[in-house]
């Protein structure tokens, strides 16, 4: 999927690979109303409701102290979806507080990144160790889109995390659009490596989470409001963000040959 998208005389970020080190990512998994989400999905993408009539979502709060794009904060929501026979976490809304990752996200992968005002209680403390981690997202300043909190209760091991359905590692899906030129789904499969403490245990935490989502005319985060929280996690990892792959969509009735 390699393509040149950067202006030659005004680059904001270098070519891949895109490296991240000591990334602190906290996420709360929850159920939401699939009807309010369906209208915000691209053609060919459907909510993966499983055996019930709910959408499974996750709200993420991220602090990236060292990366190819420099240090920055980021927050987003993902919803579990299906495209044909494949399952993904689709990312409909995402914000950051830095220009380079905002531009790269939109240009390379088609993420709907926007600049926003973000705060994170663990930014100076370095992660779990206080009563709770809290991230707030305002856009514009003073207009709250998200408030996420997570109280880390205990460390868990890798096998336990991988066995948890609510922590399922699926590729992240985005929708890349250049009017009249490109309209495609892009999947990115990130495989993070968790840091280990002095005792050899992985820095993977499980605890209690809470998410509040609000919307504006320009940012419909309210469509993803939780109806029931399922789980909450926090991790310190290193990873590489790949360029991704184009995901074919199932043919619609208008394109299927009779």
Mean pLDDT, the chain, integer: 89
**Could you give the number of structural domains in the chain?**
1
Does residue 128 fall inside a structural domain? yes
Beta-strand pair 66-67/133-138: unpaired
More confident residue, 165 or 208: 208
Percent of the chain scored above 90 by pLDDT? 74
- Kindly state whether residue 94 falls inside one of the protein's structural domains: yes
45-59: average pLDDT: 90
Q: Is the pLDDT of residue 50 over 80?
A: no
110-167 pLDDT per residue, tens: 999 999 999 998 555 545 546 789 999 999 999 999 999 999 999 997 677 766 766 6
The lowest-confidence range among 90-99, 114-123, 200-209 is 114-123
Residue range of the domain that includes 91:
18-247
Q: Do the beta carbons of residue 68 and residue 14 sit within 8 Å?
A: yes
123 sits in the region (left: phi over 0; alpha: psi -120 to 50; else beta) called alpha
Give the CATH number of the domain where residue 168 resides. Answer: 2.40.400.10
Do the domain assignments include residue 7? Answer: no
Pick the closest to residue 216 from 147, 138, 118, 115 (CA basis): 138
253 located within any domain: no
Whole-model pTM: value is 0.90
Residue 75 bridge partners (DSSP): 61, 95
Asked whether residue 57 is domain-assigned, the answer is yes
The pLDDT of 186-204, averaged and rounded, is 93
Residue 8 lies in a domain: no
CA of 93: how far to CAs of 17, 164, 173, in Å?
A: 24, 25, 12
255 lies in a domain?
no
Neighbours of 171 (CB within 10 A): 18
Say how far apart CA 116 and CA 155 lie, in whole Å: 31
Judge whether 3 lies within some domain: no
Does 34 score more than 90 pLDDT?
yes
């Amino acid at each position: 999927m390699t393509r040149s998208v950067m202006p030659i005389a005004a680059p904001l970020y270098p070519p891949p690979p895109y490296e991240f080190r000591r990334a602190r990512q906290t996420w709360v998994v929850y159920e939401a109303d699939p009807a309010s989400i369906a209208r915000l999905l691209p053609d060919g993408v459907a909510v993966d409701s499983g055996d019930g009539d709910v959408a499974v979502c996750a709200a993420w709060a991220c602090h990236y102290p060292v990366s190819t794009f420099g240090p920055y904060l980021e927050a987003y929501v993902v919803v579990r979806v299906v495209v044909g026979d494949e399952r993904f976490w689709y990312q409909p809304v995402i914000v950051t507080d830095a220009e380079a990752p905002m531009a790269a996200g939109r240009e390379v992968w088609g993420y709907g990144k926007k600049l926003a005002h973000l705060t994170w209680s663990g930014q100076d403390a370095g992660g779990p160790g206080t009563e709770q981690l809290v991230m707030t997202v305002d856009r514009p300043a003073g207009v709250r889109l998200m408030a996420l909190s997570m109280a880390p209760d205990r460390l868990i091991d890798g096998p336990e995390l991988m066995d948890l359905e609510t922590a399922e590692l699926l590729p992240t899906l985005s929708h890349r659009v250049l009017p009249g030129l490109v309209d495609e789904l892009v999947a990115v499969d990130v495989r993070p490596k968790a840091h280990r403490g002095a005792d050899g245990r992985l820095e993977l935490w499980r605890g209690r989470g809470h998410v509040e989502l609000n919307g504006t005319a320009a940012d419909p985060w309210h469509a993803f409001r939780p109806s029931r929280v399922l789980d909450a996690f926090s991790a310190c990892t290193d990873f590489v963000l790949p360029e991704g792959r184009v995901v074919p969509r199932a043919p619609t009735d208008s394109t299927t040959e009779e």
